């Protein structure tokens, strides 16, 4: 059986089936004001007990001082303290006569569903965070806590999905692996497993339910394989693989503090893409030296109105402080297309990906934009924040966006509020016109970051979500490569920094080619950093340039891919 390998490594162990308590709506209706009063108080107490439970857990000495896990729990406290959740639940109790339990289930389910509908893998995975917070409140309302009783050290936890609060009941030292029915690359199971270095496979589908308690199971967190009841020969061969993995991993771990410099002395910036402050721990754990893309959308999701300047400021400040001296590129709001906010309705469009989205919305609705810009500028004094505008297709948009930054600065100055006057401004190059006119755009900004995810889809006219035509969607198409080449060349001609923050940055086959083009920065999911660094430090820039010269003469992606595979062998 195959799922998505999200935390590499091989585990051979016995299945532990982790089942959550079923949660269902009672349908009971409150009768009078006294009931409403009682249910409202019960809800408030459950919320404060949930927060107290998390705080107590954090203080517990046996708690492994793992930064990510603490940050996950702190984010939960923030969500639990969200006045919007409280007012929505109280509204259901007082105006719809629902019990506290039913009101919580409904409010949380609506918020989670809204996130699931978003076709952005990271953001839709955050639905389980919201659901988890709901479960936490319900557990306190119902006085119901399930604990995991594990024996031995080789338990492979088989579950539908695993949430941060589930991990509170885990003795992590007894877990050898995770396999879940649901989940994607950025689900919590993935984040937690990676943080703990425990192999995990998610999104295995319903077939996983065939596993019985104590069955022998092998999981390969690199390939996504799950083998149920393996024979002796299979076990032997996986023990062998386990040894090799341990050796390679030990080697990659030693790279954490090594600078990504080629053998002939070229320093490359290896940064990470994040969507929340929680992700930061992983960045530095994996030897990342900054954030090349902070997708700010998550801050705007899972709520019923735009976050105000202060809320945004607190978020960016937290990221800036936690990043210390390392740079963080904050991308301004990139909604529209497939990312929608329930409180900001965009009328249906024939081609939403070519429609009213990202910078187009921000330049049209300046108040939303300037509020975000002011929050980032203010937070800039606590770290090294840069601002990046998405979906730029012409120079006028850049000029207008810069005008908005100017306006934001003037408003802050008038109000006597401190901010970083030297914040660098950059743009994403993810529309072919921008890539072709990189020479013109380079004069306007401090840096470029190439968004190959969208650049591929717009250059090749291939929807990045459409599985039927996914074979056409490749960053090794010579047309796409010519655009990246041009952007890099023009950026350098104008002495501007150029990075790449699309998925191509984490593709080991692309590393030498991109190095050879002269890219200054690679930004990717944090877990990919060691493997890419390993390629950078083992090769010279002159070899990379040679690879690039050869590839740029090739006529199709198949030839290019097989040549790059040959080079990497
Ligand atoms: C991109 O388009 O390459 C990119 C990094 O942005 P997103 O995936 O958020 O569209
Ligand atoms: Mg994009």
Residue 564: give its domain's CATH number: 3.20.20.60
CB atoms within 10 A of CB 562: 11
Q: Which residues contact 406 (CB under 8 A, 6 or more apart)?
A: none
Identify whether the C-beta of residue 445 lies closer than 8 Å to the C-beta of residue 427: yes
Residue 113 shares a structural domain with residue 214: no
Asked whether 355 and 317 are in contact (CB, 8 A), the reply is no
Q: Report how far residue 294's alpha carbon sits from residue 470's, in angstroms, rounded to the nearest whole number.
A: 26
Q: Per the domain annotation, does 223 fall within a domain?
A: yes
Are 461 and 442 within one domain? yes
By alpha-carbon position, which residue is closest to atom 9 of ligand 1?
Answer: 295
Q: Are residues 180 and 274 in the same domain?
A: no
Q: What does the alpha-carbon distance between residue 153 and residue 336 come to, in Å, rounded to a whole number?
A: 47
Considering the domain architecture, whether residues 101 and 203 belong to the same structural domain is answered as: no
284 occurs within a structural domain: yes
Regarding the beta carbon of 501 and ligand 1, being less than 6 Å apart is answered yes
Q: Are residues 61 and 162 in the same domain?
A: no
What is the residue-wise DSSP string for 483-530? HHHHHHHHHHHTT-EEEE-SGGGG-TTTHHHHHHHT-SEEEE-GGGHH
Does 273 reside within a domain?
A: yes
| Region of 354 on the Ramachandran plot (φ > 0 left; ψ -120 to 50 alpha; else beta) | alpha
Instruction: Please report whether residue 260 resides in a domain.
Output: no
Q: Domain ends where: 78, 111, 142?
A: 142
Q: How many CB atoms lie within 10 A of CB 350?
A: 6
Give the nearest ligand 1 atom to 334 CA: 9
CATH number at 89 reads: 1.10.274.10
């023009």: which residue's tokens? 490
Rounded to the nearest angstrom, the distance between the alpha carbon of 500 and the centre of ligand 1 is 10
Q: What is the pTM of this model?
A: 0.68
CA 405 to CA 326: how far, in whole Å?
Answer: 22
Query: Is the C-beta atom of 394 inside 6 A of ligand 1?
Result: no
Neighbours of 67 (CB within 10 A): 15
Say how far apart CA 406 and CA 416 lie, in whole Å.
15
CA 452 to ligand 1 center in whole angstroms? 7
SS (H, E, C) 72-90: HHHHHHHHHCCHHHHHHHH
Domain presence at residue 168:
yes
Tell whether ligand 1 has an atom less than 6 A from the beta carbon of residue 203: no
- The reply to whether 261 falls in a domain is no
Contact indicator for 478, 556 with CB cutoff of 8 Å? yes
Residue with tokens 């004069």: 443
Same domain for 304 and 405, yes or no, is: yes
Ligand 2 is an ion; its neighbours by CB within 5 Å are 430, 451, 454
Tell me, yes or no, whether 256 lies in a domain.
Answer: no
Residues 200 and 313 in one domain: no
Last residue of a domain, one of 218, 237, 256: 237
Same domain, 341 and 373: yes
Round to whole Å and give the CA distance between 215 and 230.
9
Whether 475 contacts 504, CB under 8 Å: yes
- Closest alpha carbon to 118 in 413, 286, 341: 341
* Of 553, 519, 550, 549, the residue nearest 536 (C-alpha): 519
Active site residues: 188, 501
Judgement on whether residues 197 and 304 belong to the same structural domain of the protein: no
Q: Whole domain around residue 107: which residue ranges? A: 33-142
The answer to whether the CB of 498 falls within 8 A of the CB of 488 is: yes
Ligand 1 lined by 336 (C-beta under 6 Å): no
Task: List the chain pLDDT tens, one digit each, 569 residues.
Answer: 888 888 888 999 999 998 766 667 888 999 999 999 999 999 999 998 888 877 766 665 344 445 556 667 777 788 888 888 889 999 999 999 999 999 999 998 888 888 777 766 667 767 777 877 887 888 788 776 555 667 888 999 999 888 766 765 677 788 999 999 987 765 677 767 876 778 999 888 888 988 999 999 999 998 889 999 999 999 999 999 999 888 887 788 789 999 999 999 999 999 998 888 877 888 998 899 999 999 998 788 767 889 999 999 999 999 999 999 999 999 999 998 877 888 898 888 999 999 999 999 999 999 999 999 999 999 999 999 999 999 999 999 999 999 999 999 999 999 999 999 999 999 999 999 999 999 999 999 999 999 998 999 999 999 876 767 878 989 999 999 999 999 999 999 999 999 999 989 988 999 999 999 999 999 998 878 998 999 999 999 999 999 999 999 999 999 999 999 999 98
- Give the residue from 142, 166, 185 where a domain finishes: 142
515 and 555: one domain?
yes
CATH number of the domain at 182, please: 3.50.30.10
Give the ligand at the shortest distance from the Cα of 391.
2
Number of domains in the chain: 3
359/374 Cα distance (integer angstroms): 16
Residue 263 in any domain: the answer is no
Q: Is the same domain home to 350 and 379?
A: yes
Same domain, 377 and 470: yes
Q: Rounded to an integer, what distance in angstroms lies between the CA atom of residue 277 and that of residue 323?
A: 9
């Amino acid at each position: 059986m195959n799922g998505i390998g999200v935390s590499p490594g091989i585990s051979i162990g016995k299945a532990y089936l982790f089942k959550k308590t079923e949660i269902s709506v009672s349908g009971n209706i409150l009768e009078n004001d006294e009931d409403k009063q009682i249910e409202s108080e019960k809800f408030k107490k459950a919320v404060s007990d949930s927060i107290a439970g998390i705080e107590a857990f954090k203080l517990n000495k046996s708690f492994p001082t793992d930064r990510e896990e603490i940050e996950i729990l702190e984010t939960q406290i923030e969500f639990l303290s969200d006045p919007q959740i409280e007012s929505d639940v109280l509204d259901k109790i007082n105006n719809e006569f629902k019990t506290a339990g039913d009101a919580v289930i409904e409010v949380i389910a609506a918020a989670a569903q809204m996130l699931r509908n978003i076709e952005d893998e990271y953001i839709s995975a955050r639905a389980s965070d919201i659901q988890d917070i709901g479960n936490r409140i319900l557990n306190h309302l119902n006085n119901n806590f399930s604990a995991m009783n594990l024996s031995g050290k080789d338990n492979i936890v088989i579950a539908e999905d695993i949430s941060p609060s589930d991990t509170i009941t885990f003795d992590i030292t007894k877990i050898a692996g995770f396999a879940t029915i649901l989940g994607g690359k950025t689900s919590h199971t993935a984040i937690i497993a990676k943080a703990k270095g425990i192999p995990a496979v998610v999104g295995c589908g319903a077939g996983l339910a065939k596993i019985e308690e104590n069955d022998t199971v092998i999981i390969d967190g690199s390939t996504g394989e799950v083998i149920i009841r393996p024979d002796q020969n299979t076990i032997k061969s996986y023990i062998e693989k386990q040894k090799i993995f341990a050796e390679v991993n030990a080697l990659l771990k030693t790279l954490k503090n090594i600078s990504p410099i080629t053998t002939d002395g070229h320093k490359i910036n290896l940064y990470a893409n994040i969507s929340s402050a929680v992700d930061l721990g992983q960045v530095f754990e994996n030897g990342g030296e900054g954030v090349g893309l902070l997708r700010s959308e998550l801050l705007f999701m899972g709520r019923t109105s735009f976050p105000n300047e202060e809320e945004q400021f607190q978020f960016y400040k937290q990221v800036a402080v936690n990043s210390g001296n390392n740079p963080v590129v904050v991308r301004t709001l990139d909604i529209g297309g497939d990312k929608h906010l329930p409180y900001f309705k965009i009328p249906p469009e024939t081609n939403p990906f070519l429609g009213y989205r990202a910078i187009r919305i921000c330049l049209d609705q300046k108040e939303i934009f300037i509020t975000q810009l002011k929050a980032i500028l203010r937070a800039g004094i606590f770290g090294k924040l840069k601002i990046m505008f998405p979906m730029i297709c012409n120079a006028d948009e850049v000029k207008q966006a810069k005008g908005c930054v100017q306006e934001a600065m003037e408003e802050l100055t008038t109000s006597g509020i401190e901010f970083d006057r030297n914040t660098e401004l950059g743009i994403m190059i993810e529309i072919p016109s921008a890539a072709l006119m990189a020479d013109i755009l380079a004069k306007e900004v401090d840096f470029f970051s190439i968004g190959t995810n969208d650049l591929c889809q717009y250059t090749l006219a291939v929807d990045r979500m459409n599985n039927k035509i996914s074979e056409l969607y490749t960053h090794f198409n010579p047309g796409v490569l010519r655009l990246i080449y041009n952007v890099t060349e023009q950026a350098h001609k104008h002495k501007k920094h150029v990075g790449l923050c699309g998925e191509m940055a984490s593709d080991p086959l692309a590393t030498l080619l991109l190095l050879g083009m002269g890219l200054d920065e690679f930004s990717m999911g944090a877990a990919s950093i060691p493997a890419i660094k390993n390629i950078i430090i083992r090769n010279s820039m002159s070899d990379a340039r040679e690879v690039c010269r050869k590839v740029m003469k090739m006529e199709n992606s198949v030839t290019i891919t097989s040549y790059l595979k040959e080079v990497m062998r």
